[in-house]
Structure 1
């Protein structure tokens, strides 16, 4: 299965050279927040006011060394990685694309990793 994590490009490129990524998130939250591509459209608005250049990490859960737990995020379960993400689990990195009014534009290259074409039915509040 594939999940994604959105990272600041500069921070990711610097940290992954060590072989691992996510130190700041693990120290602050205890885990690394992730999503699947079919629910990311619900998460993307959280980044719209952040002007740092972002990248989308595609993560192969079969190659991830730390435990991944799917936990409730207000009606939907989201994957959380409990430890530093090993470099081998990151199978692709794509730029995070935005429209002029800061709405996420799904990268065409991400389609093979999405189960339902970037959108899952949502029945939350």
Structure 2
């Protein structure tokens, strides 16, 4: 199984579970859902989610994602982007992810 990660607010994920549909804000504004590889996820958190609370990481089985997944360049790396809604059954695990004194703990 090949895993990619997506960081979101717990409240947003819980609403997706109730509605049966997950669409990050970036899907509307940029046309895709930002994700990270396992190696990139902590750097992504430090850069974009510093000092935020109520976060979770979605563990996504890339083979189950129904929308197109593209690896595209950003910051001299290739990041996975999901071009469409994320089907909930592609998410096989979630973990709480909180900032503590300028670093993240799982």
What do residues 21-46 of structure 1 show as CA deviations (whole Å, max 9, x unaligned)? 11522111110000011111221112
Match of 2:61 in 1: 60
Take 1:103 and 1:28, find their aligned partners in 2: how far apart are those partners?
28
Relative to the length of structure 1, the TM-score reads: 0.77
Do structure 1's residue 50 and structure 2's residue 52 form an aligned pair?
Answer: yes
**Number of aligned residues:** 104
Match of 1:86 in 2: 87
Q: Which has the larger radius of gyration?
A: 1
Take 1:41 and 1:9, find their aligned partners in 2: how far apart are those partners?
17
CA RMSD of aligned residues (A): 1.3
Take 2:31 and 2:57, find their aligned partners in 1: how far apart are those partners?
21
Match of 2:6 in 1: 5
Take 2:31 and 2:77, find their aligned partners in 1: how far apart are those partners?
20
Structure ranking higher in strand proportion: 2
Match of 1:41 in 2: 42
